[in-house]
Structure 1
């Protein structure tokens, strides 16, 4: 799993551009079957985003979501865009994050009417909890135009079907509001993405900005005014959610690395199995010392960042040669290493931030290797001390 990468998918170009505007340095990534993604970082962060366009409908969304999950092994998949509100709970411009998704076109037709038989997918617990936290903090929105109010985040069900809903009085509109009266919004892709995430074990979040009321006014001038605003609000919340998701993954990786280091230190204090000797250390304090375990020196003195980065490169090359790291990850990791090394060598104003960001991105790429993550930890600190 790529702990520093989140996939964001949209159905419309308007929604795609709203997310793309949040990314720095987007680069084209072509799937072998022709699907085109763009991979960039959320501006001012180390969070990578793979952005893709699905077009309308649950079926297309499911296929592209499946393809994105297989291609990137992301920390999560976010589907972002606009939707129609079914009730007045969500106002125009608000953002709805799905607690669960109804595929409402499931049913059975009987003599006494159409009976609902939906499929339902619940949002991943961790993502729901994080979304609720961000809503409480409420600092995710871009500057609100003078004519508008601050958008709010609503949590509830989203209904996903196969046709555009734009009526309050049609037979289907009445049926939906009768059988899915807890749904806050209605759209056409969430069920497909939720199914793809379910089959692949990938956490999914559906994030929709309310652009209309699905009540017959969808094609009005008012709707055309609200669509870009709703898309921008959904993109703002989704990218903030992506950044926090990646941050959590990095913290978990660091915690695992710390536990691994603690375990190594305990093992080293009992015996060195490489030469059969027993090692014991008992002292009030130990300064400027080196302890060698299994031939790997760990120093407590000042860090020579450039030299240590070369050691990380050798470690990375070894893992790649063993087949533990794939070619793409190795290439991206080497790029970040080169960027960090260049910043460390220049040691000019701005070098600290450049080196730190590169090392954090590198840490996300190799998060599945606790020993290498642990080796990076003091280097991130050292990078922060550059001029």
Structure 2
């Protein structure tokens, strides 16, 4: 299992939540102390940089070095909110955690005749089976109890929610709904709950990693909402300052995501798996001339 973070606040929260205090020399990764230095059930690391291309490169390198069965992308994201009945907002609140079900890459489009036509390439979306069996059930538990950081004061008191839904990956900080590009993108993905800058890169790398019948790694994305970004101008007018909200909630959102990640990993790796027999190979097949 590899847990991938991006910014320093995410890395610190995950290292603390997982108790990963042992630096694996020369790897840029951390783990709990292990009696067998060749076997770490969980390692924690940080992406080489922000955005989708560095995330893709980081996952590619991690797969080459460690051959993990699972990759978890853990950290913060912006929650996408929309105006509702002119007075209220619909969408996640700061401190909520979004489990990624489906990844949209909002940058890959064709522009023609003032239209924005979506284009696609192959990616591996988060595992529906892992979500169903291990991550989503946490929503019915008190997963947020005793988080190491207190919930910031303000209009979002109470208990954080754990929800599953779509995410949009972009290459810019989506904090201004007055920008036509942002409204245009979010308007096309009307069910998306959050926006980040790394999930499409991870999804692409995971698709490329499944290059053999003997190796098919799966992944999950766990994103704490640090701030809200609007899908329309009316919603924008109902929001507080985006930067101020992110500053207030970033650390708490990272801690909340790290907690959900740790509980998910505990469920995934609860039982040790016995060793498997070596693969015996298979004959080829061809057409005789």
Residue in 2 that maps onto 1:232: 255
Q: Secondary structure at the match of 2:78?
A: strand
Residue in structure 2 matching 1:186, options 195, 202, 207: 195
Residue in structure 2 matching 1:135, options 136, 139, 150: 139
Residue in 2 that maps onto 1:37: 29
| Structure 2 residue 243 is the aligned partner of structure 1 residue 219 | yes
Task: Structure 2 unaligned segments of length 5 or more: list them.
Answer: 82-89, 210-215, 231-235, 278-289
1:38 shift after superposition? 1.0
Residue in 2 that maps onto 1:27: 22
Q: From the two aligned structures, give the one with the greater helix fraction.
A: 1
Residue in 2 that maps onto 1:123: 126
The Cα offsets for residues 41-97 of structure 1, whole Å up to 9 and x where unpaired, read as 79xxx9832111112011111111111122222231000111111123211100000
**Aligned positions, number:** 242
The Cα offsets for residues 152-194 of structure 1, whole Å up to 9 and x where unpaired, read as 1111101111111111121111111211111100010001111
Q: Secondary structure at the match of 2:269?
A: helix
- Relative to structure 1, the CA distance from residue 70 to residue 368 in structure 2 (aligned partners, 3 Å threshold; closer, same or farther) is farther
Residue in 1 that maps onto 2:217: 202
Q: Secondary structure at the match of 1:166?
A: coil
Task: Structure 1 unaligned segments of length 5 or more: list them.
Answer: 1-5, 254-366, 371-387
CA distance in 2, matches of 1:113, 1:218: 29
- Relative to structure 1, the CA distance from residue 47 to residue 93 in structure 2 (aligned partners, 3 Å threshold; closer, same or farther) is farther
The Cα offsets for residues 119-149 of structure 1, whole Å up to 9 and x where unpaired, read as 464321221112112222x132242647542
Higher RCO, 1 vs 2 (CA within 8 Å, ≥6 residues apart): 2
| Structure 2 residue 51 is the aligned partner of structure 1 residue 57 | yes
Residues 23 and 31 in structure 2, CA contact (< 8 A), matched pair in contact too: yes
Residue in structure 2 matching 1:163, options 152, 172, 176: 172
Q: Secondary structure at the match of 2:42?
A: strand
Report which of the two structures shows the higher radius of gyration computed on alpha carbons.
Answer: 1
CA distance in 2, matches of 1:210, 1:109: 31
Residue in 1 that maps onto 2:286: none
Residues 124 and 206 in structure 2, CA contact (< 8 A), matched pair in contact too: no
Q: Secondary structure at the match of 1:48?
A: coil
1:118 shift after superposition? 4.0
Show structure 1 runs of 4+ deviating over 3 A. 118-121, 144-148
CA distance in 2, matches of 1:70, 1:142: 37
Residues 3 and 71 in structure 2, CA contact (< 8 A), matched pair in contact too: yes
The TM-score with structure 1 as length reference comes to 0.58
1:214 shift after superposition? 2.2
* RMSD between aligned residues: 2.4
CA distance in 1, matches of 2:197, 2:268: 25
CA distance in 2, matches of 1:133, 1:25: 25
Q: Secondary structure at the match of 1:52?
A: strand
Residue in 1 that maps onto 2:107: 105
